[in-house]
Structure 1
Amino acid sequence: MNLKSNNPFLKNKSFTKPVEATVFDAEGRPVEIIDYNNTMTINGAINKSFILLFVLLASSFFTWYMVNNGQNPYVVAITGGLIGFVMVLIASFKPNYSQYLAPAYALFEGMFIGGISAVFALYFYPEIIMQAVLGTFVTFIVCFLLYRFKIVKVTEQFKSIVVAATFAIASYYLVSWILSLFTSWQPVHHGNSLMSIGISVFVIVIAALNLFLDFDMIEQGAKKRLPKYMEWFSAMGLLITLVWLYLEILRLLAKLSSRD
């Protein structure tokens, strides 16, 4: 079966390379040996996801502390975001370095999240941050339970729809950004109009659907007994989706707040 994820990070060809270990019995027939110490497991990916999440949260809180003590939040956010993006690019081409790149990504992405969150708290209200965190956590738990109990099944058609929708969102954001740089055109998703709010809700739904594909890809990677470093790689991919989901929820709450 051709497995695909709408998370570009999880499309890496390493997810199609099982660990090869051929052993032959006394009669020369190949025997399958499973070495769980050197292969990817679901529990291993989950544990590493928690580690990365802890690093991201710790970095975010420290960044928040720095901003409250006079650090420019924009400088911290841009620096963390750019370095985090570089970590993702390197890991995409060198997944075997994921055990080092994934924690680094979580660290610098935490700086980005902390800086952006501080800006939103300043311009809107402090409680918006906890509301966005809670919304992200609840969405993750609901999606995980729906996937765990097979209420939502990740079929090829499901994947195709989510991939197409994600590509459309990415294309729209890119074109909007370019036009806003060189023209006076105001992107539709900016502001607090009902259409802008509707777009945010749609993007949040697509981001949440990413979680189903990420869960499926991790499960399939474990079944294929991919190399151990793919636990870090897949955990990094899942964290990317969670960061996207958090930012979209934060933006939606800001739009709703500005309408009051």
Structure 2
Amino acid sequence: MSSFKSGNPALTDARLQAIYNERIPEQAQSLTIEGVMNKTTLLTAITCATGLLSALALHTGLVSVGTFLAGSLAISLFTFILAIVICFKPEWAQYLSQVYAACEGITLGFITAIFEIKFPGIGTQALILTFAITFGCLTIYRANIIKDEYISGKVVMIGLLALILSYLAGFLMELAGLNYGAVLDGNPLFSIIISVLIIAFFSYVLLNDFKTVRQAARQSMPKCMEWYFAFSILLTLINIYLEVLRLLAKSRNR
């Protein structure tokens, strides 16, 4: 078997190799690309549905901002734990990924509603742009415009490490009493360029996810793993959406 090459934290080479070797659980049917895409669509739909309900609940005053904030923080912690459990127990993704999508949607709905207060319509625009980016990446990959050999998991891992270090630097600056946000806010154009680069990076991660799914299908991984790959792709889509939301907010602030 050829080794898997992926930079998505949920799709690390070592983890996928171990799953393949274990064949957990052994099934008559094998993973298919269509199956992964169908399940990704379902998880995305669940996320969007709960996100919409969450945003409407806050917008209509059905739930107070304070109550919603406390609830969202609790749900965010729960989804973080869920994500870790799924990553360590991929075979559980078929049971937990829908729960994760629903809970993540609630958190995203709250975040979007907060942005909507200052920038009406921004949520819809961010959603449309995210779908457009996803469709564009899928089209590029299916058309083989970018060959598999040019999509490197190592590049993705380096990029993710750089993002983590930048967020850590910002956190440490805030602890030291330095306004990290002011550094970017003081130069709106630079801030926008950074957001565009981050979106481009996560688009590359998405291409890498598609590549890994194709490799998994070729290696006849267990059918239950379709949910795990769908969950992994959803993680990438959520990151794209959040960064698009930030980019639109920055562009309106100029």
Q: Is TM (by shorter chain) over 0.5? A: yes
User: d(CA) in 2 for partners of 1:51 and 1:231?
Assistant: 12
Inter-partner Cα distance in structure 1 for 2:100 and 2:244: 21
Q: Aligned partner of 2:164: which letter?
A: A
**Would the alpha carbon gap of residues 97 and 60 (structure 1) be closer, same or farther in structure 2, given more than 3 Å must change?**
same
Say whether the 8 Å CA contact 1:14–1:95 is kept in structure 2: no
CA displacement, residues 129-164 of structure 1 (integer Å, 9 cap, x when unaligned): 111011101100111000001001232663333321
Q: 5+ residue gaps in structure 2? A: none
Cα shift at 1:222: 1.3
| Structure 1 segment 51-90 matched on structure 2, within 5 A | 51-68=42-59, 69-72=62-65, 73-90=68-85
Determine which structure has the larger helix proportion and give its number. Answer: 2
Structure 1 pair 191/119, CA: closer, same or farther in 2 (3 Å)?
farther
Aligned partner of 1:153 in structure 2 is 147
Aligned-partner residue type, residue 144 of structure 2: K
Which of 101, 115, 130 pairs up with 1:136? 130
Partners of 1:64 and 1:118 within 8 A in 2: yes
Cα-to-partner distance string for 1:3-28 (whole Å, 9 max, x where unaligned): 3222101116452243789xxxxxxx
Counterpart-to-counterpart distance in 1, 2:203 and 2:136: 10
Q: After superposition, give the CA deviation of every residue in 1:186-234 in whole Å (9 maximum; x if it has no partner).
A: 2444566211111111111101111100001111111111122210100
* Cα 1:215–1:171 shift into 2, 3 Å: same
State which of 17, 20, 34 in structure 2 corresponds to 1:18: 20
Give the Cα–Cα distance (whole angstroms) in 1 for the partners of residues 83 and 184 of structure 2.
Answer: 26
Deviation at 1:37, TM superposition (A): 4.7
Q: In the TM superposition, what is the alpha-carbon distance from 1:113 to its structure 2 partner?
A: 0.6
Residues 47-196 of structure 1: pairs in structure 2 closer than 5 A: 47-68=38-59, 69-72=62-65, 73-123=68-118, 125-155=119-149, 158-187=152-181, 188-190=183-185, 193-196=188-191
The Cα of 1:178 is off from its aligned counterpart by: 3.0
Instruction: Find the counterpart in structure 2 of residue 246 from structure 1.
Output: 241
Question: Equivalents in 2 of 1:192, 1:114: separation in Å?
Answer: 29
Hey, what does 1:258 align to over in structure 2?
253
* TM-score, structure 2 normalization: 0.88
Report the alpha carbon displacement of residue 235 of structure 1 after superposing the two structures with TM: 0.2
Identity of aligned residues (%): 32
3-state SS of paired residue (2:180):
coil
How far apart are residue 171 of structure 1 and its match? 1.4
User: What is the root-mean-square deviation in Å for CA atoms of aligned residues?
Assistant: 2.2
What is the Cα deviation at residue 166 of structure 1?
2.3
1:100 Cα deviation from its structure 2 partner = 1.4
Please give the TM-score of this superposition, normalised by the length of structure 1.
0.86
The alpha carbon displacement at 1:101 in A equals: 1.5
- Distance in 1 (alpha carbons) for counterparts of 2:31 and 2:154: 26
> Using a 3 Å threshold, how does the CA distance of structure 1 residues 14 and 145 change in structure 2: closer, same or farther?
same
Provide the rounded CA distance (Å) in 1 between the counterparts of 2:186 and 2:227. 38
Unmatched 5+ residue regions in structure 1?
Answer: 22-34
Flag the 1:183–1:7 CA change in 2: closer, same or farther, 3 A: same
**Alpha carbons of 1:191 and 1:140: their partners in 2 closer, same or farther (altered >3 Å)?**
farther
Say how many residue pairs are matched: 245
The alpha-carbon distance between structure 1 residues 137 and 15, as it changes in their structure 2 partners (threshold 3 A), is same
Distance 1:111 1:12 in 2: 31
- 2:90 and 2:6 map into 1 onto residues whose CA distance is 16
1:23-71 deviation per Cα after TM superposition (whole angstroms, max 9, x unaligned): xxxxxxxxxxxx9853211111111111111111111111112212233
Contact 1:80 1:110 in 2 (8 A): no
Distance in 2 between residues matched to 1:65 and 1:12, nearest whole Å: 40
Larger radius of gyration: 1
Change (3 A) 1:19 1:229: farther
Match of 1:45 in 2: 36
